Amino acid sequence: MNQYVDYLSDEVDNRTRIRTPKLMVYDSFREHLEKSVKEKFHDYEFDLTVIPGGLTSLCQPLNVAINKLFKANLREEWHWWMAAGGAGQITKGNLQRAKFDDVCGWVKRSWDRIPNKIIINSFKTCGISNALDDVEEFDEEIIDISDDNLEDASDDNLKDDISCDNLDIGINK
């Protein structure tokens, strides 16, 4: 985790070219709360905020508006791959697993199809802002992500239980 904090700090500094205020929002996963992690964030001048357990569905931008659309996009990528015969059968009749680079492509394309406005509004919905004076213009309409809004992104006949967890891509073998 400490290496991640080092990487994150370098990445933020390289992108902004100046030292800017930084806020890291985490869930209450035990590793995020270790003293060494908190100290490392403090050393790199990150403000660390932890979402209390049970509130991630309300306070975490990914859970509020992004994950559902991302998963719908990913399911669509998987279905296109299956329909194109990507999972052809191998000798014992089992389906062939997806190649790692195929899955990486699915993830990248799925993320790229999420409009920036949805990402920005998900942070605003959670009350996470970059306004240092606690005043920010909320002139954009907050986008409600519901099943009705996902009709273009996924087929209604797709099951919600298809996710990357169900795909055997052989990374851990």
* pLDDT of 157: 36
Asked whether the predicted pLDDT for residue 173 surpasses 80, the reply is no
- Sign of the torsion angle spanned by Cα atoms 61, 65, 68, 73: negative
More confident residue, 6 or 84: 84
* pLDDT of 143: 41
Asked whether the predicted pLDDT for residue 73 surpasses 90, the reply is yes
More confident residue, 15 or 126: 126
More confident residue, 83 or 23: 83
117 half-sphere exposure, CB direction, 13 A CA radius: 8
Decide if 28 contacts 51 (C-beta within 8 A): yes
Q: Report the distance separating Cα 55 and Cα 95, nearest Å.
A: 39
* pLDDT of 137: 54
What mean pLDDT value characterizes the chain?
Answer: 74
Decide if 99 contacts 86 (C-beta within 8 A): no
Decide if 122 contacts 61 (C-beta within 8 A): yes
Q: Helices (H) and strands (E) in the chain — how many of each?
A: 7, 2
pLDDT tens digits, residue range 106-125? Answer: 999 999 999 999 998 998 88
Which 3 state secondary structure label does DSSP give 45?
coil
pTM: 0.60
Decide if 30 contacts 1 (C-beta within 8 A): no
Residue 126 binned pLDDT confidence (cut-offs 50, 70, 90): confident
- With DSSP H G I counted as helix, E B as strand and the rest as coil, what are the percentages for the chain, rounded to 5? 50, 5, 45
